[in-house]
């Protein structure tokens, strides 16, 4: 279907198929959808241990290692990494005699250090997990005595010994050790409250009920004496999906139980003295355990390029080794076999020597791959995360520090291309404030006069009365009189509710004079100016994101039944009886509210007779009890009461923008980041927020995309493209698939872009959820081609799944770095899908911030996170990697060159220990300090000038070009200059470089070369940094000092005298010093030419800004 349409609309038969298959984003829907298991049922007998068999124990185990597999498993984990495996092979080769003259310690020590560091970190993490496991497994709980049934006595049981069918006795503030069905509560009406902060991060208390079957019981002994069975659905990971029934021995009917009757492991009992509860799911069957999975590990762009580079470097090494092994074979045949002084073995055949030399060179050139790089990078990123965490300026208004959970993404923050943001709670505060209500044409806005509603309510205005009553009744909010302090009872309750909108409505009803004072399982008590009104709650149809409405059936004081429903306008309109006039009036009101960016809810009610109620009650119960097609049956039952309703009014709630949101968005946009907003809100609301948050401006062309069919979508896309985008840059027709495909690639798009815009006219697209689905299914690339021309894209009325799919679309098809930011549970999938996920510590729980890679307190902190921390990390980490490759290739090239003089026999010109120390000590700390403190520009400048972020992002600090520059440029040139310069001047025939006439020999020559390499590498590290702070300068001095101090240590430690006296000999040679000076000058000549040409004749914005900054220092007093 999609194929045909596309081909029809855009022509290009041939390209159509590939394009559609390319854009098959929808194929991934399934993965994102949590899989819906068809739950088999399980039967739990009350407190009857022999009958409840075949269930898992309550042990929780989250550790990766056990005592018997810790050694093999941790080693396996380490040596799975290619670099470590390579060094393992090198270490093994050093143990084979005859292959190499390197002693095993030079290969083993660095490997042990590197692997040991990683393993220690792993084990530490695992130990922490194990400790918390043991703590929770060994915590003691009381259960009703398993053997003495009916006595009411309890026994203490460790958490790990709790079994299905046990009846737990939970005290106030006790954690819940397993999923269980409460049977008895000390609170009135069988109510109990739990906090689920550990599970979903929601801070409000959740109300649960004991089963209907046991609600009349009063003491523990009765519970203990119970015989019965609970038939419940099998374990599944969805918190809300739980159904089943409880049948007591002797009772006629089974009583249904649902998620309201299930208390989950991981929650904590609150405001309830004591609860008896039947354990139904234990250990790995509990919902929290089924929900536990490793967060998707994200691989950042830098690491991907790094892996590729390591692979290339490795391939280069292999080629080098093979060529040199072959040359060694040739040399053996041509020269060595004739040399009597090389002993009897010199007569080995060339082929034999060639094969043996593969091992020799693998070991000799092993320093080619920087073994310490991965450890340095890892630890540097940990420190960078620490810097972010400790940054005083990253604190939010309430003093909360940010959290950096994925340390490996610090540098990715510097190259973000597209931000996909949630709206509510992310751009806005998520502090809801009731502002107005409307009754088809009549608007009462309390911002004009706060007492307006109150006065009219007091005056007995019927409309207002209905409105206020509906606001006070139709909700799931619970009043809580408990104060912050223990035992404190408040005069007016605070309200606990899952939706801030509801809470704000209930609070405003109170301000009008209708105070909610009590909510028990059956009743809801309102206080109307001192007079108590009691409403019986006889039915509730809960809110969910599909229904987008909730209903409450109440029994009025006069005995009549009434249904109150509130919900989104789209779902409410079909259910309300309205004249067309009224409808128009309401639509106008809604439009007005939406334009102001207010969130609206439509309220309606319906009076029903007792018979109607009873029949509904029966179908509803049946639906609840049914195990198959439950949802459908419930929807059908709900339909009975939620139809032909009477309109009450529309409420409008304001959600204010957070501090500095427009400024931040403006800044980020100027930083070359495109911003997408994905929201579940109405188009108008979203659009309005867009204007107030500076994402849209009057000068923009705003394109609305709302379509109901595939044809419509394709026509719309084509029109939009033709009108707004296809002005230039495209060769040929719109249907030219080739250019279309390439356009969606960032690089290509950039190339086309300059010609595309007419003047400063720019485009914004607002698309709704349904249209978006068509786009995701069939036209992803085409849509992206349009959005390439957009400053702003707003997707409204999207589901959480769509959010994730949009992120995936942008990430995959655009190939750019995406950042998703959100605060609620509905943003989690998007946050996990994006290259970088940022969570806000939100009002809607901490779920988003806990699953995010970075969590911040306010939206405006995103600016500092990206433009300071991201920017710096994208300068620092690439620098660290570049210099690591450089230094190792540099020192190894000396070995390579020397092979031409020693018949490719594998003699090491650098002392093997110096190479090892070079790798793991001398040049370890300078790059790390570089990666911690380098600043290419001052913070103030970065915070003022968004362009610098973009300039840095486009700079390509690490990639093929930089590796070529550092390895093939600096490393090669420096090694050529030092080696051949020393060959030319320090003497190739007469090595007597002293007044006393004696010769230096191979050891002095090698030491002279090593010293040159080390000093030049250290100086190069100094030169690569723009800022030198005390630590960086100190690391230079210390490294140099360590080098000189370590030589005597090596001499005393090793068992040959190759370094004996070499240091004083070398430094007493005038020739060596002269050589060193000229070599260093020649080596850095290249660096300076490159730097000068780049700085003076091809500068970029950052270079210029650096120069400007320099002048500011001088003028500042």
Partner 1 sequence: MGCTVSACAKLCKKGDGPELDEEEKIRTSEDFHGLRLHFYRIRQQESPTLIPILRPAFVITFYYILFSVFLAVGIVLIIHSGQIVSLDDVRYDNIDSCNVGDTSDGTTNNCQVEIEVTETLKAPFYVYYGLTNYHQNHRRYVSSRSSQQLAGEEQTDAQLSSCEPILFFANGTVIIPCGLTAWSRFNDTFSFCKDPGCENQIDWTDQGIAWETDEDVAFQPGPWTDAQNELINSPDFIVWMRLASFDTFTKLYRIVNEDLSPGTYFMDIGSNYPVSGYDGTKFIAITETSWFGTRKTSLGIIYLSICGCLFVIATALLLRHLIKPRRLAYEDLNLVKEYLVKTVDIGDEEVKQKALGQQSNAVNT
What residues are annotated to the active site?
422
Nearer to partner 1, 318 or 1101 (CB): 1101
Q: Residue 450 and residue 462: Cα distance in Å, rounded? A: 19
- Whole-number minimum distance, CB 788 to partner 1, in Å? 11
655 marked as binding residue: no
Nearer to partner 1, 79 or 383 (CB): 383
How many of the other CB atoms lie within 10 Å of CB of 40?
9
Buried b (16+ CB within 10 A) or exposed e, 917-948: bbbbbbbbbbbbbbbbbbbbbeeebbeebbeb
Q: Residue 790 and residue 753: Cα distance in Å, rounded? A: 11
Phi and psi torsions of 519, nearest 5°: -140, 110
599 marked as binding residue: yes
Nearest to 799 by CA among 95, 33, 77, 66: 33
Q: How far is CA 231 from CA 46, 257, 264, 663, in A?
A: 11, 9, 17, 57
422 marked as binding residue: yes
Q: Residue 513 and residue 492: Cα distance in Å, rounded? A: 12
543 marked as binding residue: yes
Nearer to partner 1, 193 or 1005 (CB): 1005
How many of the other CB atoms lie within 10 Å of CB of 45?
17
- Whole-number minimum distance, CB 935 to partner 1, in Å? 7
**Lookup: tokens for 389:** 């965490």
Nearer to partner 1, 530 or 1064 (CB): 1064
823 marked as binding residue: yes
> Which residue's structure tokens are 């000590």?
921
Nearer to partner 1, 575 or 945 (CB): 945
**Lookup: tokens for 269:** 């009992």
Buried b (16+ CB within 10 A) or exposed e, 98-112: ebbebbbbbbbbbbe
Nearer to partner 1, 608 or 941 (CB): 941
3-state class of 705 per DSSP? Answer: strand
Pairing outcome for strands 790-796 and 674-678: parallel
Helices (H), 145-295: 220-225, 287-291
Q: Residue 948 and residue 958: Cα distance in Å, rounded? A: 17
User: Residues for the chain: how many in total?
Assistant: 1117
423 marked as binding residue: yes
Phi and psi torsions of 644, nearest 5°: 45, 50
- Whole-number minimum distance, CB 943 to partner 1, in Å? 9
**Lookup: tokens for 636:** 């059908």
Phi and psi torsions of 642, nearest 5°: -90, 55
- Whole-number minimum distance, CB 924 to partner 1, in Å? 19
DSSP assignment string, 623-634: HHH-SSSHHHHH
* Cβ atoms 472, 464 nearer than 8 A: no
726 marked as binding residue: no
Q: What angle do CA 1018, 1019, 1022 make, to 5 degrees?
A: 95
Nearer to partner 1, 89 or 902 (CB): 902
528 marked as binding residue: no
- Whole-number minimum distance, CB 807 to partner 1, in Å? 22
- Whole-number minimum distance, CB 1006 to partner 1, in Å? 8
Nearer to partner 1, 265 or 860 (CB): 860
Phi and psi torsions of 713, nearest 5°: -60, -45
622 marked as binding residue: no
Phi and psi torsions of 191, nearest 5°: -90, 150
- Whole-number minimum distance, CB 406 to partner 1, in Å? 21
Rg (CA), the chain: 36
Q: Residue 1045 and residue 299: Cα distance in Å, rounded? A: 41
- Whole-number minimum distance, CB 929 to partner 1, in Å? 11
**H or E element that contains 540:** strand 531-541
- Whole-number minimum distance, CB 951 to partner 1, in Å? 5
797 marked as binding residue: yes
Give every CB contact of residue 253 below 8 A, 6+ residues apart in sequence: 247
510 marked as binding residue: no
Pairing outcome for strands 428-439 and 646-657: antiparallel
Which residues define the annotated binding site?
Answer: 422-424, 502, 543, 566, 599, 679-681, 797, 803, 823, 826-827
Which residues define the annotated binding site for ATP?
Answer: 422-424, 502, 543, 566, 599, 679-681, 797, 803, 826-827
């Amino acid at each position: 279907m999609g194929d045909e349409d596309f081909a029809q609309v855009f022509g290009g038969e041939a390209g159509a198929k590939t394009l559609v298959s390319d854009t098959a984003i929808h194929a991934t829907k399934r993965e994102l959808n949590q899989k819906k298991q068809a739950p088999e049922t399980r039967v739990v007998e009350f407190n009857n241990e022999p009958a409840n068999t075949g269930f898992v124990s309550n042990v929780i185990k989250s550790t990766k290692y056990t005592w018997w597999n810790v050694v093999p498993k941790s080693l396996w984990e380490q040596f799975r990494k290619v670099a470590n495996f390579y060094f393992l092979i090198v270490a093994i080769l050093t143990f084979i005699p005859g292959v190499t003259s390197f002693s095993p310690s030079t290969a083993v020590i660095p490997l042990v250090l590197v692997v040991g560091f990683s393993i220690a970190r792993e084990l530490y993490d695992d130990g922490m997990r194990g400790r918390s496991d043991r703590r929770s497994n060994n915590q003691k709980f009381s259960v009703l005595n398993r053997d003495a049934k009916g006595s009411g006595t309890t026994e203490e049981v460790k958490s790990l010994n709790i079994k299905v069918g046990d009846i737990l006795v939970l005290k106030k503030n006790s954690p819940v050790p397993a999923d269980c069905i409460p049977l008895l509560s000390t609170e009135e009406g069988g109510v109990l409250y739990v906090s689920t902060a550990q599970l979903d991060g929601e801070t409000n208390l959740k109300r649960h009920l004991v089963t209907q079957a046991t609600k009349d019981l009063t003491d523990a002994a009765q519970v203990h004496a119970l015989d019965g069975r609970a038939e419940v659905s099998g374990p599944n990971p969805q918190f809300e999906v739980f159904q089943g029934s409880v049948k007591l021995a002797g009772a006629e009917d089974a009583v249904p139980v649902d998620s309201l009757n299930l208390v989950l492991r991981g929650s904590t009992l609150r405001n309830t003295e004591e609860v008896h509860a039947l354990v139904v799911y234990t250990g790995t069957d509990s919902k929290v355990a089924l929900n536990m999975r490793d967060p998707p590990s994200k691989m950042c762009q830098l690491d991907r390029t790094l892996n590729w580079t390591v692979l290339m470097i490795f391939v280069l090494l292999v080629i080098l080794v093979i060529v040199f092994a072959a040359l060694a074979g040739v040399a053996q045949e041509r020269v060595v076999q004739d040399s009597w002084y090389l002993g009897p073995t010199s007569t080995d055949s060339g082929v034999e020597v060639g094969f043996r030399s593969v091992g020799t060179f693998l070991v000799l050139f092993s320093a080619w791959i920087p073994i310490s790089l991965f450890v340095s990078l890892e630890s540097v990123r940990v420190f960078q995360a620490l810097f972010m965490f400790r940054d005083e300026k990253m604190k939010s208004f309430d003093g909360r520090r940010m959290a950096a959970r994925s340390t490996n993404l610090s540098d990715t923050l510097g190259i973000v291309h597209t931000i996909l943001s949630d709206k509510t709670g992310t751009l806005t505060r998520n502090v809801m404030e009731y502002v107005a209500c409307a009754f088809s044409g009549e608007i009462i806005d309390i911002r004009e006069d706060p007492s307006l509603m109150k006065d009219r309510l007091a005056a007995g205005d019927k409309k207002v009365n209905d409105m206020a009553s509906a606001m006070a009744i139709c909700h799931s909010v619970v009043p809580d009189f408990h104060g912050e302090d223990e035992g404190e009872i408040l005069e007016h309750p605070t309200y606990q509710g899952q939706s801030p909108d509801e809470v704000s409505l209930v609070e405003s009803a109170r301000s009008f004079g209708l105070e909610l004072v009590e909510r028990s399982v059956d009743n809801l008590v309102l206080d109307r100016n001192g007079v108590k009104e009691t409403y019986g709650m006889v039915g509730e149809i809960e809110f969910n994101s599909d229904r987008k409405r909730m209903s409450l059936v109440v029994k009025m004081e006069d005995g009549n039944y009434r249904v109150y429903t509130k919900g989104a306008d789209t779902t409410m309109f079909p259910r309300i009886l309205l004249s067309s006039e009224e409808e128009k009036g309401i639509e106008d009101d809604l439009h007005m509210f939406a334009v102001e960016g207010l969130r609206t809810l439509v309220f309606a009610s319906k009076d029903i007779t007792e018979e109607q109620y009873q029949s509904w009650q029966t179908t509803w119960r049946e639906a609840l009890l049914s195990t198959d097609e439950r949802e459908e049956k419930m929807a059908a039952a709900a339909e009975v009461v939620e139809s032909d309703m009477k309109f009450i009014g529309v409420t409008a709630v304001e959600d204010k923008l957070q501090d500095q949101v427009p400024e931040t968005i403006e800044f980020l946009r100027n930083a070359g980041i495109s911003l997408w907003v994905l929201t579940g809100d109405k188009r108008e609301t979203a659009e309005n927020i867009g204007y107030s948050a500076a994402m849209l401006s009057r000068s923009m062309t705003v394109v609305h995309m709302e379509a109901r069919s595939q044809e419509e979508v394709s026509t719309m896309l084509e029109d939009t493209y033709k009108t707004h985008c296809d002005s230039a840059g495209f060769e040929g027709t719109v249907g030219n698939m080739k250019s279309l495909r390439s356009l969606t690639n960032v690089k290509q798009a950039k190339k086309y872009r300059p010609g595309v815009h007419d003047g400063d006219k720019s485009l914004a697209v607002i698309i709704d959820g349904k249209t978006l689905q068509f786009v995701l299914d069939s036209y992803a690339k085409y849509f992206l081609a349009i959005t390439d021309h957009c400053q702003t894209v707003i997707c409204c009325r999207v589901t959480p799944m769509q959010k994730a799919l949009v992120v995936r679309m942008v990430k995959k098809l655009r190939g750019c770095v995406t950042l998703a930011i959100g605060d609620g549970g509905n943003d989690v999938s998007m946050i996990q899908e994006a290259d970088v996920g940022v969570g806000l510590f939100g009002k809607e729980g901490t779920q988003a911030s806990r699953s995010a890679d970075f969590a911040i307190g306010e939206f405006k902190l995103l600016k500092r996170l990206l433009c300071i921390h991201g920017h710096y990390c994208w300068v620092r980490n690439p620098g660290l990697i570049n210099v690591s490759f450089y230094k190792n290739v540099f020192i190894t090239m000396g070995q390579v060159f020397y092979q031409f003089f020693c018949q490719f026999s594998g003699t090491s010109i650098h002392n093997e220990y110096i190479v090892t120390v070079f790798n793991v000590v001398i040049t370890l700390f300078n790059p790390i300090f570089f990666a911690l403190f380098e600043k290419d520009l001052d913070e103030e400048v970065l915070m003022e000038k968004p362009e610098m972020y973009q300039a840095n992002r486009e700079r390509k600090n690490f990639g093929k070009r930089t590796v070529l520059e550092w390895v093939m440029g600096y490393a090669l040139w420096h090694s050529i200059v030092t080696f051949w310069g020393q060959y030319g001047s320090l003497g190739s025939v007469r090595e007597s470089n002293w007044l006393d006439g004696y010769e230096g020999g191979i050891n002095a020559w090698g030491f002279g070369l090593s010293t040159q390499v080390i000093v030049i590498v250290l100086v190069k590290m100094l030169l690569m940094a723009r800022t030198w702070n005390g630590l960086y300068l100190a690391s230079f001095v210390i490294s140099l000092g360590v080098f000189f101090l370590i030589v005597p240590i090596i001499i005393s430690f090793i068992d040959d005298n190759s370094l004996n006296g070499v240091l004083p000999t070398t430094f007493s040679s005038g020739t060596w010093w002269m050589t060193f000076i000229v070599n260093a000058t020649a080596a850095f000549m290249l660096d300076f030419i490159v730097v000068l040409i780049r700085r003076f004749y091809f500068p970029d914005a950052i270079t210029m800004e650096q120069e400007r900054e320099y002048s500011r220092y001088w003028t500042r007093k």
